[in-house]
Amino acid sequence: MNKKSVKDVEVRGKRVLVRVDFNVPLDEQGQITDDTRIRASLPTIQYLVQQGARIILASHLGRPKGKVNPKYSLAPVVKRLSELLGQDVQLAGDCIGDIVVQAVSKLQDGQVLLLENVRFHAEEEKNDPTFARNLATLAELFVNDAFGTAHRAHASTEGVTHYIPAFAGLLMQKEVEFMGNALERPERPFVAIIGGAKVSDKIGVIENLLDKVNALIIGGGMANTFLKAQGFNVGKSLLEEEKIELAKQLIEKAKAKGVELELPIDVVVAKAFAADAPHRTVSVAEIQEDEMVLDIGSASAEKFEALISTARTVIWNGPMGVFEMDAFAKGTERIAQAVASCGGITIVGGGDSVAAVEKMGVADRMTHISTGGGASLEFLEGKVLPGVAALQDK
């Protein structure tokens, strides 16, 4: 992390624009169903409050497509943030314009103002320079603490950095340091576990990791494409026919680099994609034409657990099966427990894996849980994240 953080600059009495990621899930009544992202931003906000800064928070919520939509208002967030901070947070009626300028002018040291959803303006996602300048004029300093949006060059993540000095928030710093260290200076053995539905989503990640890891475990729907590449029949399982050749190449690349590439040896299959579908565990050589793979089997889980138990660094992105259905959650549960029990540094990224460790109650036993889905994937691919690149270097 060669970027300056919020702790490298004097903030007392200064107006500080902080990009946070308050894109939280809401139910039909507009109630927050998971406040993880709000809680993740607290260290930066609390630090700025204690230092006597005047804090202006900016975030998006959902996909309002550049139009004002009450359904995507940050009003529920203000309520929850006020409770967590133990002080009143004001909500501005917009994110730019006279009413916002007035609200900012009334801020006292240590007070917090949340701007309304930046994506109510189409210019946000277009990284429009005028819109970015309007945001920037509200403050003297910019702090980006929204790792989850760092892979997007938007006005509130990258655009504002052209007008005011920009620094990393404490969450941003933690994300980049943990994942950066794992990729650049891992304690070995280094094991990566990649799951989820599609190979196409994670080709770049797999290719980058093959240059860095000692072992790579592949599970979830994407494993079917690799099994097919090895000549196994996968029935009517999720499969990317056009990626079979690529899977063969990746298997060869792993061999050439001396990386252990581990695939399931047994799987849980059913004839229907349903929570109550009758299911059985079979070896990967026994999958029938009318069956689909919905989880890894117990022998695979055991093999993966043994490998994880020896690791000093683990990165996990993507579940082993359809973990939302209890009948097909065992593989993901066992991997979650194995990662939690491993004595090394453990990093979990990607929405589904994070949901899995939360569901299984082992989240607090992980070294680091990434708040960024797409951002953590692009980081693992070795891509430059615009929201990080734009911050001031040390």
Q: Among all residues, which ones are annotated catalytic? A: 37, 198, 351, 374
Query: DSSP letter at 19?
Result: E
Which parts are annotated binding residues for substrate?
21-23, 37, 60-63, 119, 152
Binding positions are 21-23, 37, 60-63, 119, 152, 202, 324, 350-353
DSSP code of 164? Answer: S
The half-sphere exposure of 352 on its side-chain side, counting CA atoms within 13 A, is: 19
- Is the separation of the CB atoms in 168 and 3 below 8 Å? yes
Contact present, 180 and 313 (Cβ < 8 Å): no
From the annotation, which residues make up the binding site for ATP? 202, 324, 350-353
CA distance 56 to 45: 10
Using alpha carbons, select from 263, 377, 367 the residue that is nearest to residue 317: 377
What residues form the annotated binding site for (2R)-3-phosphoglycerate? 37, 119, 152
H-state helical runs in the chain: 36-40, 42-50, 75-85, 98-105, 122-125, 129-136, 170-184, 203-210, 222-229, 244-257, 298-309, 330-341, 351-359, 373-380, 386-389
* Residues 58 and 118 sit within 8 Å (Cβ to Cβ): yes
DSSP 8-state secondary structure symbol assigned to residue 393: B
Please give the Cα distance from 193 to 173 (Å, whole number).
24
Q: Which residues pair with 261 in a beta bridge?
A: 216
